[in-house]
Structure 1
């Protein structure tokens, strides 16, 4: 086969550098603007770190403590003891005996019925309780607060990290590190900036852009396919921001539909609740956008490797066939995810004697519906745009099509090795080098 002189079908180094340069010309201004915006919007730290008192400090001497349940029995409720003597009636309820973690004698704890109906306290359960024994009101010296969930959450987190690293290997580890970095940036930049009254739209766009730049390149490496996915993601974020801005205003969404929002409006009056809702839409959308854009970008590259002489039209059509399946699955994934999160609301509103349309247009339900619709529109539009960009970059780097080089002989595919020498590999084998290979 030494007599064959095949051109590099999958990679033309000069054209690849030119395509990467074009991608960076498009991406660099966005990255620079996001970096400048981060500096300008960086919180000054004037907001106190703990502007609210602990929600459980309801009285002087009250203390939040932890303990372990030793046994649960059905006895007279401590809150109703002695009522028989004044003409009342003592009530029976589930009483859990708790051993304080700090040491001391076990005590009886009356557990709210809404808790026991869902998850009775069992021996060995660790719980949080409010110790009021040192206050003036000792009618109910101990009040159940919540379960201690540290151990199961830690085990699930470890299992998740182990599974990701086992299946995705180093890339999975990098993705987890990128996730941790993104969450840290959200907590250290976005949340304080919002508390200081900075524009939620600017804060949300800046946060999502910085996180996407860092997460994509860190997890997938610096490559043309990663840059392509990033361009598609940024386009989707822009569309999501534009539609979300219009929708929140047109639908008159105030964001004041939950107790936490009402508390924020009192504690941080300069914070726009509708703006906070808008910022949340952007942050919620960037993860799903990242998923579909990186998938579409990688799909086009894989298609180009399998069929390097496909035309741009053929590559786009094949990529969109994959994209349409992705759209179909992701759209109802988003809808079901939000429906699952809002299930208590759905069950509650179903009990009201109201038409379905009236229920869906209430403030709280409208927010959920708009989250689904806005996120889905941005996601759907990002898929053809990402696919088109990926095809353009693949063809610009000399991957197949007319003019990319001489067609290999039967059963052979020409590839380019890092040494610059041409080699042949049987058809069906994955090319050793391709534009954007990590």
Structure 2
């Protein structure tokens, strides 16, 4: 039953990847804005103190008013202690070129000797102004924390951890080699997101959990939930008139590639963002149903569903809270800005920037909640059809029949055992008490204990 759905689905995903595969992102002329500029690596060779008044002499003299941020910055620019950093380029065509950067006293980033930097290169600017510091080089600490993460995953998860890392790399490859370039090429963001998310789901789940009926149920439950998220997201994004163009980055994307459907890009982000948590929920629910069935093979589909859905309700409570807090944490500076502005909650929620996050969070949460009963019902039906009680393992069947016999007051039948073993039957069909050899039951008249020996 599952194969009849998943095999055509997997084939459709492969066809979708082949048809929509972009190759690489289309080129464009650099704007020099944001991330769209040429960068090189550099290092601070020395830092010297310098009088701010001498380097800021061209600025308008401050009025002395320090009640505003602009006034405080103007006063600091004339009376504070600045620093002059000497910086050497360490990559690119102008390696070893030296330039200077003035650091104001109120700058958020103060430079230190030996600090690794990222500098922007503007080829059309005068030679002395071609390079400017834009960020700190964080590659080494990022590489260290990534290595620690991989080590912890492998040490705890062992082979499963290795497969999880492989699946993570495959997911990143699909995202960077297919989803992003295909959207930039002009393909429909919703179609690209559905195909890409489906490919990630198939690779991640089957690589981490194996090609089994249990994994296939989780895949099917995830697929149904993704379709629900896509449908609801499309309806509410259109109904709420969300353009998807709410900040400088999306504005830059729209300016460089005007053919991109920004609202479709927003919907694609909702689908891809929900996929990771959906995997967790569907796999957990499927595993719960399978373990319940293994513990009691006599449970039918309804009993399995009732037992597993109780587990799912606990999962729902924690997952929904986690998702909401994750989005709130990511948007914390924005929420703080609205709090400073002393705007009402209705005004804040109605702004497109916040409404976009509300729709994203709630649509994803609806899909997560719906995935619990859907996946649980599918798992209960599949495991009941795959392993009926009359075909359960002998040990489990014997334990079940023994419990049923005890409840009815009827002694369960006994199977043959090796002579001399505890529990071996005696001629009248009753078992030997545990711990006593055959022939010495300790029961009067049956040999052993104080009873008479049987005549040979």
- For Structure 1 versus Structure 2, the TM-score category normalised by the shorter chain is 0.7 to 0.9
1:25-174 residue pairs with structure 2 within 5 A?
Answer: 25-43=4-22, 48-55=26-33, 64-69=39-44, 75-77=50-52, 80=55, 82=57, 90-95=78-83, 97-102=85-90, 108-111=100-103, 115-116=107-108, 119-130=109-120, 136=126, 138=128, 143-174=132-163
Partners of 1:63 and 1:399 in 2: CA distance: 64
Q: How many residues align?
A: 383
Q: Which residue of the partner structure matches residue 19 of structure 1? A: none
TM-score norm. by structure 1 comes to 0.78
Partners of 1:187 and 1:332 in 2: CA distance: 29
Partners of 1:229 and 1:112 in 2: CA distance: 56
1:222-271 per-residue CA deviation (whole Å, 9 max, x = no partner) reads 00110010011001100100000001001100011011111222221111
1:14-29 residue pairs with structure 2 within 5 A?
Answer: 22-29=1-8
Give the gaps of 5 or more residues in structure 2. Answer: 63-76, 404-456
The SS at the match of 1:43 is: coil
The answer to whether structure 1 residue 381 and structure 2 residue 370 are counterparts is yes
Residues 56 and 64 of structure 1 are in contact (CA less than 8 Å); yes or no, is this contact kept in structure 2? Answer: no
Partners of 1:360 and 1:41 in 2: CA distance: 37
1:78 CA drift (Å): 8.1
Q: Quick one: structure 1 residues 113 and 39, their matched pair in 2 at CA, closer, same or farther if it must change by over 3 Å?
A: farther
1:15-414 residue pairs with structure 2 within 5 A?
Answer: 22-43=1-22, 48-55=26-33, 64-69=39-44, 75-77=50-52, 80=55, 82=57, 90-95=78-83, 97-102=85-90, 108-111=100-103, 115-116=107-108, 119-130=109-120, 136=126, 138=128, 143-400=132-389, 407-409=397-399
Q: Quick one: structure 1 residues 352 and 216, their matched pair in 2 at CA, closer, same or farther if it must change by over 3 Å?
A: same
Partners of 1:113 and 1:399 in 2: CA distance: 75
Residues 164 and 173 of structure 1 are in contact (CA less than 8 Å); yes or no, is this contact kept in structure 2? Answer: yes
Residues 174 and 218 of structure 1 are in contact (CA less than 8 Å); yes or no, is this contact kept in structure 2? Answer: yes
Q: Which residue of the partner structure matches residue 12 of structure 1? A: none
Q: Quick one: structure 1 residues 333 and 114, their matched pair in 2 at CA, closer, same or farther if it must change by over 3 Å?
A: farther
CA RMSD of aligned residues (A): 3.2
Larger Rg: 2
The SS at the match of 1:184 is: helix
1:82 CA drift (Å): 5.0
1:263-307 per-residue CA deviation (whole Å, 9 max, x = no partner) reads 222221111100110111111111111111111111211222223
Give the gaps of 5 or more residues in structure 1. Answer: 1-21, 414-438
Residues 129 and 143 of structure 1 are in contact (CA less than 8 Å); yes or no, is this contact kept in structure 2? Answer: yes
Partners of 1:57 and 1:284 in 2: CA distance: 22
